[in-house]
Chains A and B, each alone.
Chain A
Amino acid sequence: MSCLHTGKVLSEGEGDKWCIESQAVLRHNRPVKKGAIVIELENVAYSYGGGELLSEVSLKLAPGSFHFLTGPSGAGKTTLMKLCYGALLPTAGYVRLFGADVRGLDRDDIAIVRRRVGVVHQDVKFLDHLAVSDNISLPLTVSGRAEDAAGGDLDELMNWVGLTNRADALPPELSGGERQRAALARAVIMSPDVVLADEPTGNVDWEMSQRLLRLLIELNKMGKTVLIATHDLGLIRATKAHVQARVLRISNRRIQLAGADL
């Protein structure tokens, strides 16, 4: 098993050792205690434009857990994902990120929290004037750790996602699959505790979706909490063959554990 540590892919054994120590070495971040909940939603409701999108949603993401979030288009998957990293505030209920009530966090606190939550969107956005490698190392840059991207760590991360030969390309020059892999690399370069992926395979072919899935499973095996929003049941089935994943479904504004059909 290989393991990712601030952009560095460690060899087998080394990786296992780091996975145990990973939380302790996160700079500026409070380690997540074993058994603690990294993200918790309690009776959360979210309304927009006079309509209620989510109601009485409760969810707990434990460290190292793997979750899928399914539901029809417009059910509120993206909204729930945004609630999970502080991009939206609940209109009722509580959202706790690493134990802290999101309503008590100011914008800078939210920014710090986001360094511990890697986010991948279907419609991934980059800084189009910067090279792919600069975009991937952007989280390090904005957190004052640009020097961590030097010394080959970034190269190893780019190799991990298979973008070594595209390091100097500009984002508009990338294919859909390359963009998603670049987004994944950007999401994990800070060695976050949680990876949230919103329809990460929505714009890519089957082969690429399997490749992305393998990367996400690999991250989970490193101890990362993974939450994937998708309506691709094939993706869910393929994942469950490798890791123990909970499947949650949003239906009628509420969240429920999906049935055995998955």
Chain B
Amino acid sequence: MKGFLASLRGVFVGDRQADRVVPPSGFTAQLTLFAAGAMAFLAVFALALSLAAGRLADRWGEELARSATIRIVAPLDQRAAQTDAALRILETTRGVASARALSDEEQQALLAPWFGPDLALDALPVPRLIEVIETQDGLDPAGLRLRLAAEVPGAVLDDHARWRAPLVRAAARLRLLGWISIVLITAAVAAMITLAAHAALAANAQVITVLRLVGATDDYIAQAFIRRFTLRALFGAAAGMMLGVLAVVLLPDAGEAGTFLTGLGFQGWHWLVPLVVPLLSGAVAFFATGTAARRRLKELT
């Protein structure tokens, strides 16, 4: 633990002399910076996707779970009476916060995407819809169905469970995919840093030989590489993160029609979440380089 803290301190405090013992690597340093930046950019999008999918899943789950619909499928002359009967039952049903029959205009608006705005509802056997808003405790759909069956034969209760579940499942899966992407990006950063560290250690075999000859400990040698790669990953990822956030901010507004697309981004405190990306990248580089360096130094014994 003491060694770990000293190593961590060494990354941020640094030692000008120690930094110089490993020669600057120029082009490969820029590649590491670029790769860390690119990964951070992708990580920001994966984060935005995950958080948006999470919000969507929560919204769909909550909104649809607290509402139900009753369809009154009855001959035209009985529809009004059955609608009133159903509303009366709902007034006395536990778990129902409010219930109202949709107006003709509202039903017409619902059907407009399929039948156009000039649909004559009177000419079609369109069922009357009753919107039911549940209390926090929710209603007992089985009990309500029994009562409706007894008193309103044309009423069909739809508690949205049938089509809510796949929607919520899809959103949850999307969120999971986002998190898996972040895990994969993190693993890719670790693999990339490990490869780069191995290459740097191999390229500096003579440096390591000289350092050992003059009494450098493995920790000292490893630290020179750890600091270098950690800072590259940190700064590269910070730049990538900033570009990623900028790109999310500049996402085009898809308007009312594209509710999912407009929701793809960060809301509230979620804007702070991308700040974790460079820190995570730095931490991954710290451990990956440390592991690679110590393993390589052990092999060189």
Which residues of A pack against B, CB within 8 Å?
87, 107-108, 111-115, 119, 125-130, 134, 138-139, 141-143, 146, 186, 190
Contact = CB atoms under 8 A, between A and B. Distances in A.
Contacts of A186: 214
Contact of A108 (B206, B209, B214, B218): B218
A87 B210 CA distance: 12
Contact of B301 (A107, A115, A126, A141): A107
A134 B20 contact: yes
Leading 9 A-B pairs by shortest Cβ distance: A115-B215, A142-B216, A129-B23, A114-B215, A139-B214, A111-B217, A146-B17, A108-B217, A141-B17
Interface string B1-19: 0000000000000000110
Contacts of A108: 217-219
Highest count of chain B CB atoms <10 Å: which of A108, A111, A112: A111
Contact of B215 (A125, A134, A143): A143
B23 A142 contact: no
23 contacts: A107-B301, A108-B217, A111-B215, A111-B216, A113-B215, A114-B212, A114-B214, A119-B213, A125-B206, A126-B210, A127-B21, A127-B207, A127-B210, A129-B24, A130-B21, A138-B21, A141-B18, A142-B21, A142-B214, A142-B215, A146-B17, A186-B214, A190-B215
Nearest to B213: A119
Interface residues of B, number: 23
Given A125-B206, A127-B23, A138-B21, A107 B213 contact: no
B220 A142 contact: yes
A141 B21 contact: yes
Chain A binding surface SS class = helix
A109 to B, nearest CB: 9
B211 interface: yes
Contacts of A125: 206, 209-210, 213
A88 to B, nearest CB: 10
A21 B23 CA distance: 38
A129 B301 CA distance: 24
Highest count of chain B CB atoms <10 Å: which of A107, A139, A143, A186: A107
Given A127-B210, A138-B21, A142-B220, 8 more contacts: A108-B219, A113-B215, A115-B215, A128-B23, A130-B21, A134-B20, A138-B210, A142-B214
B298 to A, nearest CB: 8
B218 A107 contact: yes
Contacts, number: 61
A138 B23 CA distance: 14
B19 to A, nearest CB: 11
A225 B217 CA distance: 24
Contact of A111 (B17, B20, B24, B218): B218
Contacts of B297: 107
B206 A130 contact: no
Interface in B163-220: 206-207, 209-220
Contacts of A115: 214-215
A167 B76 CA distance: 105
Contacts of A107: 217-218, 297-298, 301
Highest count of chain A CB atoms <10 Å: which of B20, B215, B220, B301: B215
A138 B214 contact: yes
Interface string B61-78: 000000000000000000
Contacts of A130: 20-21
Nearest to A116: B215
A129 B25 CA distance: 11
Contacts of A139: 214-215
B201 to A, nearest CB: 15
A9 B241 CA distance: 55
Contacts of A143: 215
Nearest to A134: B20
Contacts of B217: 107-108, 111-112, 142
Contacts of A119: 213
Contacts of B23: 127-129
B301 to A, nearest CB: 6
A188 B216 CA distance: 15
B219 A142 contact: no
Contacts of A129: 23-24
Nearest to B301: A107
A87 B21 CA distance: 21
B213 A142 contact: no
Highest count of chain A CB atoms <10 Å: which of B207, B214, B219: B214
A141 B221 CA distance: 12
B191 to A, nearest CB: 27
Nearest to A89: B301
